[in-house]
Structure 1
């Protein structure tokens, strides 16, 4: 069959390419409207009319635009209800209000609110000498209120005052405090006063003049001081560093202070001063000595003596203190228990970091011209050498200091090594450390 005849019978194919639509003219997206041509041959076409007669009035900044938006909306709705023009004006018309008139109207609304709420333009009585504002960094309460809730400019000032008074009465606070609450939590304004007050009490958002926690805290230091003998100023410093202790009952806090003082063998006032710098010690005071004794491999009495001599060690963990003991044992060439005995005899060795001790020992060995083992022995006998001879021997040349210190160091070295040998024999009697000790 001829294809041309088939096409004439069936028509165009279903999936044939559509007709190409004419391209949009450039004038169709321009800013003018071309009216239709007149049908009468003698008539002339009207000139094109612009869609927008004038640009919108400029806005000073984003904050001003946000505050004035409800005012503009309220004025537009009122004008539309009365059948008049809006602020922006209809299409092709000039705006009804100029920016100056708009800001003048906003200023009039603000003056009306200030006249109706004079309390919000003055500082709070309990602000305490801040001078020109409330507690919000010198900003008046009314300014903070309008900044958080701009929709208040739509309502009448008398209605705003009545709503704030109702909220304050439901919460049992003043109008100023109710306004401060609305400024902090704008969602409170969207609920009826009774419902908002119930939710505020539930969420504890109300600013009480004297919270119950502070009322209890004012009595607790006196009770703890009477029970433990710790001065009230020391307890106040402790509570100031760790506010969570305010919630601890008086009897439990007093028992904890006394128990920790007994464990360390110090007075309770010293424990309070110590807790002021490290409040977390009180959380583990029940097993403090036992944990340290197990980690350091020392008897509990030795741990109590060590912590009593150097309370600053409590700011460290037992693992850190053990690492220091191991470093000292490696420096002195003695076992860990003997290094612990050295720290018990000279608690300052445990308070100095191991790297500082090793550095000072090197300085002592260089200044005295002795071995590192000899310098370690001198430090073990007299830890005050950690603070002396911190300079190299080159700075001491030409002075009598090396000779004097050398004689003292030699004496200390003899007695120190003798003391170390005796201690080592007492701890391990079957061990012979040198051939010289066989004759003893």
Structure 2
């Protein structure tokens, strides 16, 4: 086991990792920007080092500074958290070159699943369902021919990156070429890679993801699934586990598919396989997140498995501490992402303490109950007691969602917010 770990992140996930390290008896190093000098993760860590200015490109994405901080402090491993450098294969390679362990998957796994076309190919080869789609599209003509063959509506997606960037839905031939050019331009600007592909657009699907854990000896297990359908602009707002209102056959099939694909790519560490499910319970592989996710606590709540501790143990060479048959599911959990933004317009609402330089999420509220009804009621109570002053937050919207009949009956899909606002 490690003696010291550097956390290459900030905010709540850095605090989460520090707490796990404390329970494992591991010393921690926090890196921070000038804007985060007085942040909680800096105060909680055993050591801290400033690595640059307030912008992410000058600090949390500055690989040489992070590697140097690990070397200076004698950290044996780096935990990237989520976002920033967590899915950068080149960063993993830099850590390996510097003889510092990266607490996450191999560079090869990140490369295999980081490119969405490659990920779809791997899924298909594993026997995991994928929606009709293409490889990289090189021209207007190729885009037109592919869309006609697949059938409208289609969705154009960037092969790299995520967060909804480089993504356009096309309902008819007339708008295809314009949308294709817009997606390519946005992808190039956001990710430095303008390649896009086309796949069948599934209207108002459920977004269901499966949490997996794998070790370096080839053992892979799942920790059940989460429903992340409550989104706006492809950004999750509310997550819950287990996914409600699905058949047991689908639940078992989607979990088995996730494990099968993880084994195909020799995956180790924590990861999430994401799927879309249509109204007939047909599910299709969407992408893999090769890192710990924001919503991992809802899975921890219902399984009792500490995902971050498992990540650290796996990285140090230990086998998984649990087998699939040891995983037991208890009750229901819901997470609300509390964001500093106007709940009506979703415009950011920073102040002098909540920096405008980073993501608008300022906290996560997770509630567990014996069943989904109790979990919902508990979340409503807790949100009602939640006090944040000085900024607008997403809490009023989340209260309305949780109190709606549509949500309580688990009539969920990714178009929920639009339909909910129109109710």
Please indicate the TM-score interval, normalised by the length of the shorter structure.
Answer: under 0.3
The TM-score with structure 1 as length reference comes to 0.19
Greater Cα radius of gyration, structure 1 or 2 = 1
User: Greater helix percent: which structure?
Assistant: 1
With a CA cutoff of 8 Å and minimum separation of 6, indicate the structure with the bigger relative contact order: 2
User: Greater strand percent: which structure?
Assistant: 2
The TM-score with structure 2 as length reference comes to 0.20
